[in-house]
Amino acid sequence: MAVYIYERHNWTNFQWEDEKILNLLSEVRHLQGKLIGKVELLGFELKDEANLETLIQDVVQSSEIEGETLNPEQVRSSIATRLGLDNLGLVNSDRHIDGVVEMMLDATQNTDKTIGKERLFGWHGALFPIGRSGLYKIDVAQWRSGDMQVVSGGMGKEVVHFEAPRAERLEEEMTSFIGWFNAESDIDPVLKAAIVHLWFVTIHPFDDGNGRIARALTDMQLSKADGVNQRFYSMSAQVKQMHKEYYAILEKTQKGDSDITNWVVWFLNCLKEAIIASNTIIGKVVRKHHFWMQNNINVSNERQQTMLNRLIDNFEGNLTSSKWAKMTKVSADTALRDITDLVNKGVLIKADSGGRSTNYELNW
């Protein structure tokens, strides 16, 4: 039977080998500084857009890690509305998505506020607005009342990867965690983010949603480390790409002792890749800005603006006149006129798809 880290004496007296992490930590801090400097040169409008794109990725990918697929357009709409950004032509978001967004924005926009039991309960309530996880009723906005195991495999072939502390320990464990999180510390803020994530998911205080709340707390701590309340890289998106390694190092660390060197090294490498990947988001934002500077004069109506933004952001599949008609709720003739107008102006081009339906794509 496995002995878990929390069963050891003074288990949160975490240790690490400085010589194995200091160079990597220094590299991450350097990349953070370069990124923030690069973003500052974008100006307010593009900074807001880069923040929006990063938050969309963060919310969508954090849920995907848990096997839940959110509609990116609804996520965009929810975040844009709450940030007071242009919401033209965007779809309405449902209550569940609004809850996930509210938690993430509270974590990253309000980094100056301490966390407490009630704030965490509020986040949990926002994640599960109807008190259920899928088909199952769960304890919402309170610590779990039962035991918790992380299990994989089908019925009869279950593998227990981790068993969380018993419910009667949660009040004491979370009081200790919250006190440490809020306290001033000599620990580097990025290193503290690595500990935050490990500590919280090890306690696993809720019936469900522990991973998403752990990632929100990690983003909150990383926002403090960045010194800004906007997000320009997505740790969740990188964890999603490296999810097999993530679960493996987490399991190994939780079955080890309080030397968390290997976890910290993995976390810093993941963070490093997330910051490097931010160049893709910033590049997309700048490209979109240039596209509209060149083509704003060519757009004749709101439908065209909405569809062009969808093509730029996250359009799935090929654009056809029938999709245009369905998505903008107009007739096939009106859709074709909209598209033909943009083709004639050089904004759209016919794609060489070879299919039965004519497809169109952005000319950029």
Domains for the chain: give ranges and CATH numbers: 5-287 (1.10.3290.10), 300-362 (1.10.10.10)
Distance (Å, rounded) from C-alpha 166 to C-alpha 175?
A: 15
| Matching residue, tokens 């988001």 | 281
pLDDT of residue 315: 79
Q: How many CB atoms lie within 10 A of CB 171?
A: 12
Entry field: residues in the chain: 364
Residues 6+ apart with CB under 8 A from 165: 6, 173, 202, 203, 204
| pLDDT (0 to 100) of residue 1 | 67
The pLDDT, as a whole number, for residue 157 is 81
8 A C-beta contact, residue 55 and residue 108: yes
Measured between alpha carbons, how far is 223 from 226 in angstroms, rounded to an integer? 5
Q: What is the full per-residue pLDDT of the chain (364 aa) written as tens digits?
A: 689 999 999 999 999 999 999 999 999 999 999 999 999 988 898 999 999 999 999 999 999 999 899 998 899 999 999 999 876 556 788 888 999 999 999 999 999 999 999 999 999 999 999 999 888 899 999 999 999 998 888 777 888 899 999 999 999 999 999 999 999 999 999 999 999 999 999 999 999 999 999 999 999 999 999 999 899 999 999 999 999 999 999 999 999 999 999 999 999 999 999 999 998 889 888 888 889 999 999 999 999 999 998 898 867 788 999 999 999 999 999 999 999 999 999 999 998 765 567 899 999 8
Number of Cβ within 10 Å of residue 215's Cβ equals: 26
φ and ψ of 223, to 5 deg: -65, -40
Max distance between CA atoms of the chain, in angstroms, equals: 73
Query: Position of tokens 């949160």?
Result: 12
Q: Is 316 exposed, middle or buried (0-12, 13-18, 19+ CB in 10 A)?
A: exposed
Does residue 328 contact residue 335 with C-beta atoms inside 8 Å? yes
